Chains A and B, each alone.
Chain A
């Protein structure tokens, strides 16, 4: 099993550009989520999904869109990037009924 795979690992965007951060897991986990990690602030939940076709907002959803068409994939879309979205983004998954979340290696995004 590859676990949770995030692509790309690094990305630089210009203000106003759009892009999609990819997240895929091969563990057949129902639950997937996106976090952003900023210095001194820990991880904050952006969006999460409890299964294909079901998504919900976390603490900091503004400026981000998600969809979940398959169990394996949970992409995060930035519609119009802003410098405030410069951060490290982590995707996580866990199976239903289990509390342990498995994290990807992260995507470092810089918006200039």
Chain B
């Protein structure tokens, strides 16, 4: 099955700085890559996603890049704010079973005011 690795496990940045979280996947059949944000005591919430036919996608301060050849994708947050502090998860879903999501182990982002 799919194996998704996520780094770093914790990330601390100063407010206004950028944050980058990286994930790699193993199954070349994976073609959908969402990113979820989980705030304390809440369930994960989708913040951005990308499909394998696109190399980059941006939504305001958040962007995701995908390198299919290297099997890695990254989340970029610019101009970080204290409310960005949360745990972020990447995931991959294979084309042969779109009902299955494989999650990374999570990155705890701390934005210091």
Question: Cβ of A63 < 8 Å from any Cβ of B?
Answer: no
Name the A residues within 8 Å of B98 (CB-CB): 99
**Interface size class of chain B, counting residues whose CB lies under 8 Å from the partner chain:** 20 to 34
Measured in the bound complex, the distance between the Cα atoms of B99 and A34 in whole Å is 12
Given that A59-B1, A99-B32, A105-B41 are known contacts, is A33 also in contact with B46, CB under 8 Å in the complex?
no
Contact B43 A103 (CB under 8 A): yes
B1-13 vs A, CB cutoff 8 Å, 1 = contact: the mask equals 1001010010000
Is A26 located at the chain interface by the 8 A CB criterion? no
B99 touches A4 (CB 8 A): no
Q: Which residue of A lies closest to B45 (CB)?
A: A103
Q: Is A41 an interface residue (CB 8 A)?
A: yes
- Whether B89 is near chain A, meaning CB under 8 Å from some CB there, is yes
Minimum CB–CB distance from A31 to chain B (whole Å) comes to 7
- CB pair B1–A56 under 8 Å, yes or no, is no
- Compute how far the CA of A43 lies from the CA of B46 in the bound complex, rounded to whole angstroms: 14
Indicate whether A90 sits within 8 Å of B44 (C-beta atoms), given known contacts A41-B105, A42-B6, A99-B49.
yes
Q: Mark A20-45, 1 if CB is under 8 A from B, else 0.
A: 00000000000101010000111111
Q: Are B100 and A58 in contact (CB under 8 A)?
A: yes
Known: A40-B9, A42-B89, A105-B42. 17 other contacts (CB 8 A): A4-B43, A33-B99, A41-B105, A43-B91, A43-B103, A44-B103, A45-B102, A48-B100, A56-B99, A59-B1, A90-B43, A100-B46, A101-B34, A103-B43, A103-B44, A105-B43, A106-B43
